[in-house]
Structure 1
Amino acid sequence: MSYRPVHVIPLRLPLEVLEDMSSGSLTLYQQLAEDLAASIRSGVLRPGDRLPSVRELRRQRGVSPSTIFQAYVQLESQGLVEARVRSGYFVRARRPLTGRPPEAAQPSGQVTPVAISELVFELLGSTRDVDVVPLGSAFPAPGLFPFDALARSGARAMRRLGPAQISGALTAGDETLRAQVGRRYALNGVSLRPDELIVTNGAMEALNLCLQAVTQPGDVVVVESPTFYAALQALERLHLKAVEVETDPVEGVRLEALEALLQRQKVAACWFMPTFQNPLGALMPSAKKQELVQLLARHGVPLIEDDVYAELHFGARRPLPAKAFDQEGLVLHCSSFSKSLAPGYRVGWAAAGRYARDVERLKMMTSLASPIPSQLAVAEYLVQGGFDRHLRHLREALKTQHTAARALIERSFPKGTRMTEPQGGYFVWLELPPGVDALALHHQAMAQSISTAPGVLFSADRRFTRHLRLNVGHPVDPQVRSALKLLSALARDHSAAGGA
């Protein structure tokens, strides 16, 4: 079957136009704060620089003094600037652990059989204990989500449920939900066929079905280095082999390394997370996403795009997915509401391009359908129009928590530690100094009821022996603060012993 997308919004629009379409509505002070934050992060405004005066900004931007002060207060709460008495606001002198992000991994490029599941079960099985400080968790704090509103939405929708809806929504999913998800794609400049969307039991089912649709046992799949451990588990289950590609901690997969790999190795598919990659938090720029899609199209290689964190951006605009540049139907885009709205509801989906029918058939042969009540609750919530308002509050909370946790890590962890600075999501990736054994550190922390995600989970060859992924999606309350301080003390002990 040929892939002929219906272009809801032309993909020939300039990138900046497409990105503007997903910006949502920001207040004047929020937009000013975002612009200044971008200048700080890009180095235009450097540590110690004085921010423009109120008079200057009034003249340049035509905004009121109260708008300017609100913007500065927001930047101060994010830890980007500091107020000095009778002097104004200045870019905060960061206390970087080394001033650099972690080194990019140098994977061997060799095909590796995958056997990671037992290690994942062993190390992460206890993180579900409510008494454990969840620095190794995969979810942000439950209090950030509108569970009461979702319950009310579900009750309203279930009262209207007719028998035809139950049978009509079996495999592809509830029609209203698919229409709402499709609308969000369109607003982000992504073209989909009307029948391309398939609702799944969370993003993991979508990703697994897509992987199964484009591979056969024994095939080679390219993954990032480091990569999400659930991707490795999926490869292991389907008897596939992994080859890791060099991945920059800031901008994601290095395309020159990927191209060289594709030229020497027969590859069945790539499984990448171009937006706020787990565990690095890397964000591939839109232009590089377009190059990635074009590169894979030249080689005829499908891209399974895991895009579960895109709504959790700290900037003004939702990053474009790689799917926005897909002209051949080779991008199988997977996402869910589990990280942005409804953890535990298991409402995900796949926009599987030319493989949509294959994915639908595989779903019919496995789980058959996703539960109707959770689909209806989410669909009703979206129809009522509360999602974007919730997202604004969620992003602001995650950004504040992220800033507070990073500041504590910067002050506490041993010299030589490197840390990523993601622009979205709720993970940071630490590269600890030589001599630190992150797996031993994990076991010591668990003995104190503190979970972490040690780096050995994130590679088929378990290469990341002195790395940790930490969840900073929980308020930095006394319990989390104490846990981070204890973890840092353990890391300092390891570092001192290793350097002795």
Structure 2
Amino acid sequence: MKDNFLYSEISGNIARLIRNEVLKPGDRLPSVRMLCEEHNISMNTAKRIFLELEAQSLIESKPQSGYFVSQLPYQRLALPAVSKPAAVARYNEPEDLIRKVYSHMGSNKLTQFSIAVPSGDLLPLAKLNKEMVHATRELRGGGAAYEMLQGNEKLRRMVASRALTWGANMQEDDLITTSGGMDALSLCLMAVGKPGDTIAIESPCYPGILQLAVSLGLKVLELPTHPITGIQIEALKKAIPKIDLCLLVPNFNTPLGSCMPDEHKREVAALLARHGIPLIEDDVYGDLYFGEKRPKCCKTYDTEGNILWCSSISKTLAPGYRVGWIAPGKYKEKVLKLKLVHAISSTAITQEVVASFLKSARYDHHLRQLRRTVQGNYQHYLHAIAQFFPEGTKTSRPQGGLALWVEFPKGIDTLELYELALKQHISIAPGRMFTLQNQFQNSMRLCFGLPWSDDLQLKLKKVGNLAKMIQR
């Protein structure tokens, strides 16, 4: 029994080290005898471990030499190129396509590769329900009364406290709660922009941001974006004379999953402050990092209150609770005035539930589990793409978040692929959703927030086969 437990633990640990590229292709593994001595296991158990890793194509044996890390299939997948949007602001929103894809949100009849939220199976729903009962007892009027305009004090205190982990120095009074992340972005855009202004964003970009900007009468300037490091700094510098505000998702943006290096975040914060251009920073994926520590934000380097930092628990804890927040810097009074006009109050009871969950150790415990799960899912997706998708397919390499960007060879139209997949009860997100320009027709976003299973692998195989079928 002990050996069976150790067998699973040891093989799992070695597999993670290989998939996380801590152990690299060609690295030699300990011998069977060394593994026995190091972990106090039997010779048969050590051999089983190596056979299991070999069956997963993670290692290979070389006669008279031992076991070595294999080159994983997905490591042969190339990265998509840096995007090249036209340097002209556009209004051309793919409204019908976005509406069609998101009309299936919440449906249990489809495999939802298209929606970037974690599955309910990965969320601590029973614990949240207990907190909900507790909140009705604690809150004035059982949670039926209005919350103060600035929002739940305990929640703001906990968000401010957690911000210390990424280098921000804020107090509860610096924060305003909102009804989710999109509400936060909406209030910020209305506070610092007006119809006719030009906003700079990443390209590709989350469709909700595109829709929101267009609905507010903003002209959208898409910036060239690297799949690993985010927006091209030089492109932003050239755009400065044309833009009035900027909205970025520096940490694991969707759909690319890119993460701006700290030096880029510092430079962007200083550049925009120097020119008096407000930056709205959407940090909704920041807690879903795959590395050792949470990445910093542009807000970390904000010395003038020029950055409106937004986040929520929609991607980590409870999408339907609609709980978010803003640290609006010097634009606080403008944001408060807009919240009063548009909402009066945020939902008291869900804010209290989230505040209590953040205050306990339960949230961090849940995050650790969620990060391990979605990182494992991401690796499974890459293996499936390498195995089943057309030759020449490229993928992004996110180090966090929930989204993977897939670029097919030029002859594959993902609008056509979407329609075919839908008939197989599979929903993908075509690349044209993520831009206002005529680009990304051969790309798509896949969400890896679904529990991995043989059935999910089969669905990815179907998508790959359909793509091969329409390849021209």
TM-score (norm 2): 0.88
For 2:351, the aligned partner's letter is Q
Task: Give 1:261's aligned residue.
Answer: 239
SS in 1 for 2:246: strand
Task: Give 1:237's aligned residue.
Answer: 215
User: Structure 1 residues 149, 164: CA separation in 2 closer, same or farther (over 3 Å shift)?
Assistant: closer
Distance 2:110 2:402 in 1: 18
SS in 2 for 1:295: helix
TM-score (norm 1): 0.84
Q: Report how far residue 169 of structure 1 moved.
A: 3.1
Q: Is the 8 A contact 1:153 1:380 kept in 2?
A: yes
The question of 1:150 aligning with 2:128 is answered yes
Deviations 1:367-417 (A, max 9, x none): 111111111111122223211111111111111111112101111100011
User: Structure 1 residues 104, 323: CA separation in 2 closer, same or farther (over 3 Å shift)?
Assistant: same
Q: Report how far residue 479 of structure 1 moved.
A: 2.6
Counting only pairs closer than 5 Å after superposition, residues 259-298 of structure 1 correspond to structure 2 as: 259-262=237-240, 265-298=241-274
Task: Give 1:449's aligned residue.
Answer: 425
5+ long unaligned stretches in structure 2: 1-9
Which of 326, 329, 332 is matched with 2:308 structurally?
332
Counting only pairs closer than 5 Å after superposition, residues 67-106 of structure 1 correspond to structure 2 as: 81-82=58-59, 84=61, 90-96=68-74, 99-106=77-84
Task: Give 1:312's aligned residue.
Answer: 288
User: Structure 1 residues 201, 410: CA separation in 2 closer, same or farther (over 3 Å shift)?
Assistant: same
Q: Is the 8 A contact 1:127 1:451 kept in 2?
A: no
Q: Report how far residue 360 of structure 1 moved.
A: 1.3
* Count of aligned positions: 453
Q: Is the 8 A contact 2:287 2:294 kept in 1?
A: yes
Q: Report how far residue 99 of structure 1 moved.
A: 3.8
Distance 1:278 1:76 in 2: 32
Q: Report how far residue 182 of structure 1 moved.
A: 0.9
The question of 1:431 aligning with 2:407 is answered yes
User: Structure 1 residues 99, 425: CA separation in 2 closer, same or farther (over 3 Å shift)?
Assistant: same
Task: Give 2:187's aligned residue.
Answer: 209
Q: Is the 8 A contact 1:110 1:243 kept in 2?
A: yes
Q: Report how far residue 156 of structure 1 moved.
A: 1.2
Q: Report how far residue 140 of structure 1 moved.
A: 1.8
Task: Give 2:448's aligned residue.
Answer: 472
Task: Give 1:24's aligned residue.
Answer: none
Task: Give 2:376's aligned residue.
Answer: 400
Q: Is the 8 A contact 1:40 1:91 kept in 2?
A: no
Task: Give 1:117's aligned residue.
Answer: 95
Deviations 1:103-128 (A, max 9, x none): 11111111112433333102331243
Task: Give 1:50's aligned residue.
Answer: 28
Q: Relative to structure 2, which stretch is displaced further, 111-120 or 298-307?
A: 111-120
The question of 1:461 aligning with 2:437 is answered yes
Distance 2:465 2:74 in 1: 18
Q: Is the 8 A contact 1:34 1:316 kept in 2?
A: no
For 1:422, the aligned partner's letter is P
Q: Is the 8 A contact 1:105 1:225 kept in 2?
A: yes
CA RMSD in angstroms, aligned pairs only: 3.1
Counting only pairs closer than 5 Å after superposition, residues 339-358 of structure 1 correspond to structure 2 as: 339-358=315-334
User: Structure 1 residues 55, 155: CA separation in 2 closer, same or farther (over 3 Å shift)?
Assistant: same
User: Structure 1 residues 82, 66: CA separation in 2 closer, same or farther (over 3 Å shift)?
Assistant: farther
Q: Is the 8 A contact 1:271 1:304 kept in 2?
A: yes
Q: Report how far residue 201 of structure 1 moved.
A: 0.5
Q: Is the 8 A contact 1:116 1:236 kept in 2?
A: no
Task: Give 2:342's aligned residue.
Answer: 366
User: Structure 1 residues 102, 387: CA separation in 2 closer, same or farther (over 3 Å shift)?
Assistant: same
Distance 1:366 1:191 in 2: 29
The question of 1:188 aligning with 2:158 is answered no
The question of 1:376 aligning with 2:357 is answered no
Q: Is the 8 A contact 1:199 1:349 kept in 2?
A: yes
SS in 1 for 2:376: helix
